[in-house]
Structure 1
Amino acid sequence: SWGWRVPFWASVAVAVVGYVIRRTLQETPAFTRQATTEGVVKLPLGVLFRDHWADVLRVVAGALIASVSTIFTVWALAYGTSDAVGLSRTQMLWVGALANVVALGAIPAWATLSDRIGRRPVYLIGAAGSAVLMTAYLWAISTGSYALVMLFGILAFGVVYSAANGVWPSFYGEMFSTRVRLSGMAIGTQIGFAVAGFAVTFAARIAGPDGDDWSAVALFTAALCVPPVIAVLTARETHEVPTEQLGERPRDEAVRRTTVAA
């Protein structure tokens, strides 16, 4: 009977903590100033899709990088423990556990690096690198060599994927102005994450009747990394842009510069 009670009460606890934090957390100074001088947007979705539709699409495309996580944690685990490979479930779970331990240090390290060299190059390393390292990881599983599986698993998920995972909250959020940042982040990421959630289903279908066509799944995973790469290449760099100027359209930026110059 405890099988469902523990997850239920854990979810309730998370919801309560989230509610308390949101009710007590102060707004950013930029949002407070904007709300005081211009007021809060009454129809943020209208402003969002009128002025920031391209950035919403970028966030949707970028959020597909979550497919790497679902393929790594679900499909690769099933493949590695299948009769075709023969690794034990314990061995495969240790790969994921150690990769996550490495990620605990890699994520803040990549995030700190993005403050120095920019969001775009760090995110690009994560997106493009994941396409390459996930291919190597699935190949390593196919060999049945636990040493190779551990090595490429940690590199793929613990190190390289952490580059995108550590920078996307700031990278996506900084695409939008203060007035619509929450709406842009929420809509863009949830659409992208929802699509990424079906990656395992498609991977299982293209892996063939025996579920052992790792190369097809590797190509599929690499293809899912292409939209995030396109998103980052078409986005502007924001790590040195003042908070008040984030999400400005070219016309708004030109008006602001003219006003400052005058």
Structure 2
Amino acid sequence: MASISEQMSRRGMWPVIFASTLGTTIEWYDFFLYGTVATLVFPALYFPKFSPFAGTLLSLTTFLVGFIARPIGGVVFGHLGDRIGRKSTLIVTLLLMGISTFVIGFIPGYDVIGIAAPLLVSLMRFCQGLGVGGEWGGSVLLSLEYGHERNRGFWASWPQMGVPLGLLLSAGLVAVFAAISGSQFNSWGWRIPFFLSALLIVVGLYIRLRILETPLFSKLQEEKRVAKAPVVEVIAQNWEEIILTAAARFVEQAPFYLFSTFVLVYGATYLHVDRQLVLGGIYAAAILELLTIPWFSYLSDRFGRRRWYLLGCLLMLLFAFPYFLLLNTGNGFLIIASIVLSLALCHSFVYGPQAALISEHFTTRLRYSGASIGYQLAAPFAGGLAPLIAAFLLEQYKGDYVPVALYIIILAAFSFVATLGLKELSKASIAD
């Protein structure tokens, strides 16, 4: 039976967990909302002068802009997070992300303001990327540094659930307003979920303003040991950890956007299945991830983070071909099964423990910068390029899925090798 102090500590963790998870949910709602609408609406709205395929590629390129901005956001907000604190930085990232999303809802189409339309959308997408680039590190550290003494993989995984929650919320609202607006969805219906971002900002700010700074960073401030140039220091001292943690993310980052974003294009263009069927599979997978992310993270505390992550790389590698084989049956049940297994099993297996795996490799005074840069460095190379590479491969090979499956296998093998270079720190102290 847990001691009284442990029970109180666990009770005290839930407000922190709620604040960090709600914040990441709002951030990822904004980020995924753009990704969903970019595949469904933006090609015709902002790139009407091009063929459907070219319009889709250009729309996905604006999606890539957000990923290019993420490492920059990781550097900027990583510096602030290690200088002024986790809490203050997280408030700024939330505002930046929410306001950018809100503005997108007002941008007219190409037919109204010409080339300014896609340029404005790309600028707001860049701001979204900056916000997400700084959000992840702060949210994870908020949970990790409060619950660092035991089961920190489990505690740090809760902000990770902002991904399926944000995906579920954005996809669900798109479906709702698509049904309400009907044939007018491409005209005004898609804008309503962007406007709702303003309400989410207010809720998120209220919750985050009530949370205190993490005990580990507060101790640094009291002892006047805060780093003066954390980004410079962490690159000089921990460049190997930054590169290895970034490379370890490829197994999760790229396949996730293939499983959640590109699958919409693949299903509509190559399989000719109902868009709602694919979205239904994504909804089901997102719901199940709310269970599998913390569960797999808890197991990584028990069996070792590095060992668990290596096993996840192998699982992703082995699932690459079965994923497409299930999709290509055209059977509704099997299509949903393939999407659910890809996200709720293969993605969760590595994504849940990933927060602690990365953060454990940096000291408290440099942790926001190191974890953010390591995490976000993979974004443009893996996440942002993944839908474009997959679309290009399918076009080049006339709809053959084999090159895309091989692409997933290469990513998984790459991350497996990188993870071998990391240390096993799941039982080590991170309290400096």
Question: 2:362, 2:431 → 1: CA distance?
Answer: 10
Matched pairs, number: 243
TM-score scaled by length of structure 2: 0.52
Corresponding residue for 2:430?
Answer: 243
Q: 1:101-120 to 2 correspondence within 5 Å?
A: 101-120=287-306
Question: 1:206, 1:2 → 2: CA distance?
Answer: 32
The structural deviation recorded for 1:214 is 0.6
Paired-residue identity, %: 26
Corresponding residue for 2:159?
Answer: none
Closer, same or farther in 2 for the Cα pair 1:176/1:197, shift >3 Å? same
Corresponding residue for 1:170?
Answer: 356
Partner deviation per Cα, 1:63-111 (whole Å, 9 max, x = no partner): 32211111112222322333x4332222222222212222111111101
Question: 2:371, 2:202 → 1: CA distance?
Answer: 22
Corresponding residue for 1:224?
Answer: 411
Q: Which runs of 5+ in 1 are unaligned?
A: 246-262
Choose from 402, 406, 419 the match for 1:215: 402
Question: 2:214, 2:398 → 1: CA distance?
Answer: 49
Question: 2:210, 2:366 → 1: CA distance?
Answer: 21
Corresponding residue for 1:76?
Answer: 263
Choose from 219, 223, 226 the match for 1:40: 226
The structural deviation recorded for 1:9 is 4.1
- Per mean C-alpha deviation after superposition, the further-off stretch among 19-28 and 110-119 is 19-28
Corresponding residue for 1:152?
Answer: 338
Closer, same or farther in 2 for the Cα pair 1:66/1:114, shift >3 Å? same
Question: 2:389, 2:420 → 1: CA distance?
Answer: 27
Choose from 356, 361, 366 the match for 1:180: 366
Corresponding residue for 1:140?
Answer: 326
The structural deviation recorded for 1:180 is 0.7
Residues 1:161 and 2:364 are matched in the alignment: no
Mapped contact 2:394–2:404 kept (Cα < 8 A): yes
Corresponding residue for 1:254?
Answer: none
Mapped contact 1:106–1:159 kept (Cα < 8 A): yes
Corresponding residue for 1:257?
Answer: none
Question: 1:182, 1:53 → 2: CA distance?
Answer: 14
Q: Which runs of 5+ in 2 are unaligned?
A: 1-187
Mapped contact 1:127–1:228 kept (Cα < 8 A): yes
- Per mean C-alpha deviation after superposition, the further-off stretch among 170-179 and 128-137 is 128-137
Residues 1:90 and 2:276 are matched in the alignment: yes
The structural deviation recorded for 1:16 is 4.7
Mapped contact 2:245–2:419 kept (Cα < 8 A): no
Mapped contact 2:320–2:406 kept (Cα < 8 A): no
Question: 1:17, 1:184 → 2: CA distance?
Answer: 29
Residues 1:192 and 2:378 are matched in the alignment: yes
The structural deviation recorded for 1:13 is 4.2
Corresponding residue for 1:248?
Answer: none
Look up the equivalent residue of 2:336 and give its one-letter code. Answer: M
Residues 1:54 and 2:240 are matched in the alignment: yes
Corresponding residue for 1:29?
Answer: 215
Question: 1:108, 1:236 → 2: CA distance?
Answer: 22
The structural deviation recorded for 1:5 is 4.9
Corresponding residue for 2:388?
Answer: 201
TM-score scaled by length of structure 1: 0.83
Corresponding residue for 1:66?
Answer: 253
Look up the equivalent residue of 2:429 and give its one-letter code. Answer: P
Mapped contact 2:225–2:365 kept (Cα < 8 A): no
Question: 1:47, 1:99 → 2: CA distance?
Answer: 40
Question: 1:16, 1:60 → 2: CA distance?
Answer: 33
Closer, same or farther in 2 for the Cα pair 1:134/1:15, shift >3 Å? farther
Closer, same or farther in 2 for the Cα pair 1:100/1:2, shift >3 Å? closer
Question: 1:17, 1:120 → 2: CA distance?
Answer: 36
Closer, same or farther in 2 for the Cα pair 1:166/1:49, shift >3 Å? same
Partner deviation per Cα, 1:5-53 (whole Å, 9 max, x = no partner): 541441x444455555554433333323333335210010121011110
Question: 2:420, 2:293 → 1: CA distance?
Answer: 21
Question: 1:44, 1:17 → 2: CA distance?
Answer: 31
Choose from 313, 319, 325 the match for 1:127: 313
The structural deviation recorded for 1:174 is 0.8
